[in-house]
């Protein structure tokens, strides 16, 4: 029987680095997020949303697909989404809520880009696709569905190369 090692656990390292970067993020010496959590379950997100300390960021881990890369190396991408939410007192005009949600989204992006997970790296796969080390998806804002809550879902993908197909 072949002896296997899962010592690297690179996808977890990426998620852990992202959580740490968001938890440590500050603006004018004040924490950006009162709470940062990590889950694999959309049901868990629904249980955590719209209560507790704000602003908050919930990291949803989705999957880690692997690819054979152009140079014969092997790479993976961690696919996740950031669920960012806060309370904003407002009337009919959503300007303040939009402004605050965009501020938090941008702060999250800046925190992650400034303190990139140590293992992320750009890669090209065998399908001819190029993956940046960090790729941001299109954010979806919701400032009206559940007053006074306002939030954003921000998809993000982290790419990295592995030493071999058996060094996950």
- Rounded distance between C-alpha atoms, residue 161 and residue 79, angstroms: 15
In this prediction, residues 24-34 reach a mean pLDDT of: 95
In this prediction, residues 84-102 reach a mean pLDDT of: 90
Question: Is the per-residue pLDDT at 25 higher than 90?
Answer: yes
Least confident of 73-87, 103-117, 126-140: 126-140
Domain-embedded: residue 168: no
What tens digit of pLDDT does each residue of 107-116 get?
999 999 999 9
What tens digit of pLDDT does each residue of 46-75 get?
888 888 889 999 999 999 998 888 777 889
Here the CATH number for the domain that contains residue 36 is 3.30.2000.10
Contact 159, 76 (CB under 8 A): yes
Domain-embedded: residue 116: yes
What is the pairing mode between strands 26-27 and 130-131? unpaired
Domain tally, the chain: 1
């Amino acid at each position: 029987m072949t002896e296997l090692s899962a010592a690297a656990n690179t996808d977890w390292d990426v998620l852990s680095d992202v959580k740490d970067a968001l938890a440590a993020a500050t603006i004018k010496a004040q924490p950006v997020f009162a709470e940062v959590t990590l889950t694999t379950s959309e049901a868990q997100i629904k249980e955590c949303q719209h209560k507790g300390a704000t602003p908050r960021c919930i990291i949803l881990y989705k999957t880690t697909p692997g690819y054979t890369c152009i140079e014969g190396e092997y790479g993976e991408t961690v696919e996740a989404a950031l669920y960012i939410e806060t309370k904003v007192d407002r009337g009919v005009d959503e300007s303040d809520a939009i402004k605050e949600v965009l501020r938090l989204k941008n702060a999250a992006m800046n925190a992650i880009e400034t303190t990139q997970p140590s293992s992320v790296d750009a890669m090209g796969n065998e399908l001819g696709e190029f993956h940046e080390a960090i790729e941001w998806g299109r954010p979806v804002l919701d400032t009206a569905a559940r007053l006074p809550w306002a939030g954003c879902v921000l998809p993000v993908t982290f790419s990295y190369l592995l030493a071999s197909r058996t060094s996950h």
